[in-house]
Amino acid sequence: MAAYDYDLFVIGAGSGGVRASRMAAGYGAKVAIAEQYRIGGTCVIRGCIPKKLLVYASHYRYDFEDAEGFGWEVGERSFSWSRLIASKDREIDRLNGIYINLLKNSGVVMFEGRAVLEDAHTVRVGDRKLTAKYILLATGGWPVKPPVPGIEHAITSNEAFHLPALPERVVVVGGGYIAVEFAGIFNGLGAKTTLLYRGTQILRGFDDDVRAHLAAEIVKEGVAVHLKSDVARIDKRSDGSLHLGLLDGTELACDAVMYATGRKPNTGDMGLEQLAVKLDDSGAVVVDAFSQSSLPNIYAVGDVTDRIQLTPVAIKEGAAVAATLFGGKPTRADHKDVPSAVFSQPSIGTVGLTEAEAREAVGAVDIYKSSFKPLKHTLSGRDERSFMKLVVDAKTDRVLGAHMVGPEAAEIIQGIAIAIKMGATKTQFDATVGIHPSAAEEFVTMREKWVPPAKAAAE
């Protein structure tokens, strides 16, 4: 008789949990997975996929405007929020079905309901108790709202995907990538959009030049950006409108306020405290390089560990756990030089170190920058500029970071990321023939080192 019901029990059927369970089953393990809502997790259900679909929708505004410069006559047009959301929901339903079939076809047993740990090897789902040799926590994260008076009138990104109508006036509170992306979505779809951020510049943690460039561009597109600004209270009036009282005493009226000020790991009420599974101050599961928690048979991957909150990273971590436990190949997930994108308008693509990080890590760096009007906008007339930057180790010539703001930044940076992961040098970038005419060629044609204005003046 088997000592446990399952070799692996996965709690959370998002990207990391699904990948780990499928791979573990592929190695011959008996696997079960529990999910209390829908298979697919944050990315598929309420994150990257529906958000990117809304980004596409919002960008048609600019495409229609730009068409005239290329000889097209665009007639009367209108936008239906309800049709967009219905189309988005159909696609999410389709993907949810695909994920369910992937698990079924892999032989993974699925349980619907909230899973709670009874002990290190026992999981309770509803009124069922199940045992497993190993347990994997892949419960992701959840948006949080600060304790501001009237915060019950605010929404998060979760609710933004299901609004009954597009608000005429929207205030987005926050300065991270989710806030910036939704500000672009609402603005592009026609809402009067304001972005409030308590810091001195949006996108903390990104390269400073990228932050400044994008901030200037989104203002040009019509987003009102208020820095060093925060909400003191939210009042709802009898007509349904919201009035925000800011800390500086000013007021803003809007029809919806969306908070994108942070997310917290989903570790509450799971039984982790009773088992003494070590959590950090944010509630994230503390794990080692192999995603193993403080209890040897319990592992955790994805946003619940608060390492790098990106879907492909969770997938890599899940695959590594499966290979370690059942594939006979102890595997660490590699968190170095992970590329990422912000689907703002214009978009951001980045990989490697920022200039500030590189200076701290290696000391002397060479910086190459380029800002230019894309070829498309020479005819469209749009006042939009792209920006590219390379951060190079001055001693070794190795490219430590590449950053871009502009159309298709994610598509371009994905290829650049391969070169940086392989340790490419600036000399090798220079030796590569560019594709002309393209924006991407700028990464292999930047030759002049950037010199700080003060130093240039002194010379």
Residues with a catalytic annotation lie at: 436
CA torsion, ordered 183, 216, 188, 68, to nearest 10 deg? -170
CB-side neighbour CA atoms (13 Å) of 179 = 27
Q: How far apart are CA 428 and CA 449, in angstroms?
A: 16
Q: How far apart are CA 418 and CA 60, in angstroms?
A: 31
Number of C-beta neighbours around residue 131 at 10 A: 17
Q: How far apart are CA 92 and CA 410, in angstroms?
A: 22
Pair 256, 237: CB distance under 8 Å = no
* Residue 124 in tokens: 């309770």
Q: How far apart are CA 173 and CA 207, in angstroms?
A: 21
CB-side neighbour CA atoms (13 Å) of 55 = 20
Pair 240, 254: CB distance under 8 Å = no
Pair 218, 345: CB distance under 8 Å = yes
| Closest by CA position to 245, among listed 260, 263, 257 | 257
Q: Residue 184: phi, psi to the nearest 5? A: -65, -40
User: Would you give the DSSP letter of residue 75?
Assistant: -
The kind and range of the H/E element at 82 are helix 81-106
The kind and range of the H/E element at 213 are helix 208-220
DSSP one-letter string for 93-120: HHHHHHHHHHHHHHT-EEEES-EEEEET
Calculate the alpha carbon distances from 239 to 156, 207, 296, 299 in Å.
Answer: 22, 43, 56, 50
DSSP one-letter string for 314-376: HHHHHHHHHHHHHSS-------SS--EEE--SS-EEEEE--HHHHHHHHS-EEEEEEEE--TT
Contact residues for 94 (Cβ-Cβ < 8 A; gap 6+): none
User: Would you give the DSSP letter of residue 403?
Assistant: E
DSSP one-letter string for 229-262: --EEEEEE-TTS-EEEEETTS-EEEESEEEE-S-
Q: How far apart are CA 347 and CA 409, in angstroms?
A: 6
